[in-house]
Structure 1
Amino acid sequence: METVYQVIYSPQVAIKQKLSELLIDAYQQYYTEIKDLNGLTLIEVLYFNQISSDYYCLGFSLAHDSSNVNANDIKMLFEDGMNDAEFIDAVFKFQDPFLNQHLEKLYNEIHNIELRLREVISFIFTDTYKQDFYNVLYELNIKPMYDDDKLNKDPVKRREYLKKKLENEFFYLLFSHYIWFNDLANIDIGNIIAYLQKNIDFDGFRQKVLSRGINKEVYEDFITSLKSNLNNI
């Protein structure tokens, strides 16, 4: 594992040696005795450039011992040392394996939340519409984000596509879409045809028009609660 930095520093400084000293100082803040630690072996120069007569730019990587449970804390102390060093004007960090691990964990947590939400939302829409389970968003102002936008216009191809992947429309929505599950689209000729196809008699058609969307109170309450909860995510 290694972290990649770029530093801007004064030209008269032996920069790699100075960085090594900062690294050893960071280790010494954790360990009272350090044996056989050579900071120079942990620092690898990646590139070098003279910006002007006043400043040089150095790109370097810092190797980490992945078995050391304090490795990230030591790295942070090293970064504090660089920020405090008078000979360094600026420090930038471009790769950080510890940050990557944290973000990966965070991503997995968010992904699990999203999957559970999909399950609940799928149940709600399945129970509400009770048929045509690959086309339950037709009443809403929501457009799934398929790789091929034609799937939004072709219900037959959409059904085949989703069925093969064991997915439904909710797999192609963002969190931001989830707060619009009660945002009904205006009734147009396409909606009327869809209603007529699903309702043979006029009374059934009329009832469907008057009860569009999610209308069970418990489901409405859940969808309403999504707005505040998803804003936190």
Structure 2
Amino acid sequence: MAWRSSGGSNRDLIENLFRNGMIKHLEVKEAFLKVDRAHYAPSHPYDDSPQPIGHHATISAPHMHASAVENLLPFLTPSPARPAPRALDIGSGSGYLTHVMAELVGGGGGAVVGVEHIAPLRDMGERNMRKSEDGRRLLDAGRVRFVVGDGRRGWVDTEGGGLKGEGGKWDAIHVGAAAAEVHPELLAQLASPGRMFIPVDDELGGGDQHVWCVDKDGEGVVTKRRLFGVRYVPLTDPPSE
């Protein structure tokens, strides 16, 4: 990897990501500084590397999380046109990125839902968030919610709770596992305008994957940009233990 931003503390890690250009915007830097990765990574939390968290899942390297947030940023932060952004974090795993995204959507009604297909990982995400005062506040205020579901189908709020939003659409969708395709259900749940950050298996096979930035404009027209190659665990059925 060209980017190595490991540090001796959470601040060191984030400052290095910023210095190396992986974090570009000050609001992204501030959001990451508010979320201590030590609450989410099982060991060596300030290394710029992925780590296993059990159940065949990983917490991605910090530079990958930074890239995801930087690409989704225009759809995560409040604006006059989008005063209460709604974000979906599929494959929420440790809950780290879900928390960072929640710091960005603002307190004016914005919300983030983390979706996991493995119940113990869903529980882990919420448990990790409750390790910090900020995390507990976001959860108790209903600005973050963790659910169990098939991420390939997105998530539709059938229970209410203030997360239903306009038409049940999501302004920003982050997918933290490699999809076989840009699943139609996810595309249908993307707001107009909205953006999705999703790793996808290459059509030619061979095990290669690339991250795609999928945009839907105000008229519902979809465009896709291939960003860079990655190596993610698959977005699939829960593994058999």
Larger Rg: 1
Instruction: Specify if TM > 0.5.
Output: no
Give TM class, smaller chain.
under 0.3
**TM-score normalised by structure 2 residue count:** 0.24
More helix by share: 1
Greater RCO structure (CA 8 Å; 6+ sep): 1
